[in-house]
Amino acid sequence: MSQDAYRLKRPDGTETELPVRKGTIGPDVIDIATLYRDHGVFTYDPGFVATGSCESDITFIDGEKGVLMYRGYPVEQLAAHSSFIEVSYLLLYGNLPTATELAEFDNMIRRHTMLNEGMLAFFKGFRYDAHPMAMLSAVVGSMSAYYHKEMDASNEEHRNIFAHRILAKLPTIAAAAYKLNTGQPFIYPRNDLNYCENLLHMLFAVPAEPYKIDPVAAEALDLLFILHADHEQNCSTSTVRMAGSSGANPYSAIAAGISALWGPAHGGANEAVLEMLEEIGDVSQIGKYVEKAKNKNDPFRLMGFGHRVYKNFDPRATIIRDMCHKVLQRLDRKDTPLFDLAQELEQVALKDDYFIEKNLYPNVDFYSGIIYKALGIPTSMFTVMFALGRSVGWAAHWREMISDPKGKIARPRQLYTGPAARDYTPINKR
């Protein structure tokens, strides 16, 4: 057997080899591309727990060691020294920008934040209480109606302008959705503000008075966006890749990713964490809810705990918890019972044998909602905020997927468990 192969024994006793491929770091993969052709069998892996769907140079995660790197840079270093716009450049183009490259990229993003006025009209069709994730998905999907002419995926310039428009316009769309929910007038973006200052301005400014941007809030948002920017082949990113693999318009692929992120098992968890903390209400109730989470007959799960990959701590949760504490202090927030409750819940769960043996630790969603709430962002907007950070990761993965010369449409197979062939019976014989 060659060093780089696994030997497979067929039921008839004959053997064959499957090639093994090695990445830069991380687990090797067994290449099964010829398995069905040569052996007439599929692999079976619901939820793709142990399945590599593609090669990627963008993000690396080590679930056991709690490692997260964007293009090889540890997220802790980027969180400490970088900005969301610089991290966006890194994720899209593969290297940290020079000062000139960063200035040009930042200017490009600032000058694409406005929406076509026709796109703004969509918001007149939504009810005042429409969920902002539904509005975000719908209006981002409509971008494929506005930009279908400039979308030749083989054209590098078109791939660039797609990424710039997604990064630049999603905050404007998100803020417009929030303003519809509040009944306040839409606030246009300003090119003199940076990415997070502009978002705060569009969310919270009103025509009736000047709005003062809190630098602590802008700094907190920038860090949260860095930490949410990408995460390898998670559910929503895999959705963007799958939708894009058919050659669909990339704006539609991003809209599909937004829909996938909305689920409470994925990006919707940050909204569900706050609802859960508000339902628990008091530290005296923590034990009852931890028991509910452990009860197999109870569908309740401790939202913000557990992760498909991190079977140790989620490095993002550690950074966000520290920043959460700092934000509450610097905003001089006295009403920190939710943060106190979250910290107590974390301590109780981490000492519980069930959570220890199942490797359930706080994930990125556990503390982020507390910060959004402290910044005055309503719970319904939490997953929208996640989508704003993740938008650049989706765009980077779409670019990587569509530029792959070996790329093909994603089309998994199945284990069929339905009825064997049978004949149609006339209705009077049923």
Active site residue ranges: 307, 365
DSSP codes, 262-316: TSTTTTTHHHHHHHHHHHH-SGGGHHHHHHHHH-TT-----TTB--SS-SS--HH
Q: Which string of DSSP letters, residue by residue, matches 315-358?
A: HHHHHHHHHHHHHHHHTT----HHHHHHHHHHHHHHHSHHHHHT
Residue 1's SS3 state is coil
Q: How far is the CB of 316 from ligand SDX (least distance, A)?
A: 7
| 197 vs 346 by CB, closer to ligand SDX | 346
Choose among 386, 346, 349, 351: nearest CA to 366: 346
Contacts of 285 (CB under 8 A, 6+ apart): none
- Judged by beta carbon, residue 176 or residue 320, the one nearer ligand SDX is 320
Q: Min. distance of Cβ 82 from ligand SDX in angstroms?
A: 18
Per-residue CA distances from 319 to 73, 344, 370 (Å): 16, 18, 14
Contact 407, 245 (CB under 8 A): yes
**Residue 226 CB, nearest approach to ligand SDX (Å):** 12
What proportions of the chain, in percent to the nearest 5, are helix, strand and coil?
55, 5, 40
8 Å CB contact between 241 and 230 = no
* Minimum distance from residue 71 beta carbon to ligand SDX (Å): 16
Minimum CB separation of residue 296 from ligand SDX in Å reads: 7
Task: Return the number of the residue (200 or 269) whose C-beta is nearest ligand SDX.
Answer: 269
Name the residue with tokens 């569908």.
299
Q: Of the two residues 166 and 200, which places its CB atom closer to ligand SDX in the complex?
A: 166
**Which residue lies nearer to ligand SDX by CB, 205 or 227?**
227
Smallest distance from the beta carbon of 19 to ligand SDX, in angstroms?
Answer: 27
Q: Strands across the sheet with 59-62, in order?
A: 59-62, 67-70, 73-74
User: What CA–CA distance (Å, rounded) separates 284 from 294?
Assistant: 18
Give the CB-nearest residue to ligand SDX: 306
Nearest alpha-carbon partner for 274 in 350, 345, 203, 223: 345
DSSP 8-state secondary structure symbol assigned to residue 6: E
Greatest alpha-carbon pair distance for the chain in Å reads: 80
8 A C-beta contact, residue 105 and residue 89: yes
Residue type, 428: N
Q: Which is nearer to ligand SDX, 309 or 327 (CB)?
A: 309
| For ligand SDX, the closer CB: 164 or 316 | 316
3-state secondary structure at position 361: coil
Residues that bind ligand SDX (CB under 6 A): 47, 231, 234-235, 265-267, 269, 293, 301-309, 358, 360, 363-365
Give 375-397 as a DSSP string.
Answer: TT--GGGHHHHHHHHHHHHHHHH
Question: Can you say whether the dihedral through the CA atoms of 412, 413, 416, 420 is positive or negative?
Answer: positive
Nearer to ligand SDX, 81 or 358 (CB): 358
* Least Cβ distance, residue 239 to ligand SDX (angstroms): 11
Smallest separation (angstroms) from ligand SDX to the CB of 96: 22
